[in-house]
Amino acid sequence: MEETQAYGLWPLVIVNAGIFVMFAFSFAKPKSPRDWRSLGAFSAFVLALFTEMYGFPLTIYLLSGWLSELRPHLDLFSHEAGHLWSTLSGSADDPHFTLPHLISNILIVAGFIIVARSWRVLHAAQRVGMLATSGPYARVRHPQYGGFVLVMLGLLFQWPTLVTAAMFPILVVAYVRLARAEERSALAEFGEAYRSYMKEVPGFIPHLGSPSNRSGSSGALQDG
């Protein structure tokens, strides 16, 4: 039976991208211009991903000559063929239950959990004028950015495209630059308290072992 083409479904692009952006918005609760830039960068990545997933399969189109030789009996413009890991490996299994897809789901869920927990810790600390150093902030100084990177990495595992693969390192660099700018602001405002925190807690990649259990210092850390 001939498969129905799964592209040109622009309402699905809007709905799916909207759901992810709304989830990100509800977890991150952007307030500052930097918060909004962080959410905007994530939103651009998500929109590019779902555009290729349901709108126009640019990656499949560009690779169609090579893929048609690699998998001559495959309908390249079916939705299943868009799962490139399965297409490249020639797996006949349902791509939703393959290892890359399962890894993707774990990364996406973990990323959103980190963002949600980070937001609660940060804004609780801000309400009482303390430095956020508990929860995810005891492990890394920028857990929310790390959470967004995990979600993007998970989406890239699930549905790799040329556009999102090119966007991913650019967005990671953008998040690092935002984090560095926030650190300069925090140092200017909180001085030695934040400098001490920087010495004890890594920026993005946590150390092995138990996190430091610091008590908060005076002043609110504006760290997205």
For residue 67, pLDDT over 50 is answered with: yes
The answer to whether residue 21 is domain-embedded is yes
The range of the structural domain enclosing residue 119 comes to 10-200
User: CA-CA distances (angstroms) from residue 156 to 79, 100, 118, 127, 215?
Assistant: 16, 10, 23, 36, 37
What pLDDT shows up at residue 54? 92
pLDDT, average across residues 193-200: 92
**What's the mean per-residue pLDDT of the chain?**
83
Total number of domains in the chain: 1
Residues 20-30: tens digit of each pLDDT: 899 888 877 77
The answer to whether residue 170 is domain-embedded is yes
The answer to whether residue 224 is domain-embedded is no
Q: Between residues 38 and 154, which one has the greater pLDDT?
A: 154
What CATH number corresponds to the domain at position 19?
A: 1.20.120
Residues 170-196: tens digit of each pLDDT: 999 988 988 898 888 888 877 898 999
The answer to whether residue 222 is domain-embedded is no
Residues 112-121: tens digit of each pLDDT: 999 889 888 8
For residue 78, pLDDT over 50 is answered with: yes
Q: Angle, to 10 degrees, between the axis of helix 33-50 and the axis of helix 162-190?
A: 170
pTM of the full predicted structure? 0.81
For residue 93, pLDDT over 80 is answered with: no
Query: Can you tell me the distance from the alpha carbon of 194 to that of 223, in angstroms, rounded to the nearest whole number?
Result: 11
Conformational region of residue 211, where left means phi above 0, alpha means psi within -120 to 50, and beta covers everything else: beta
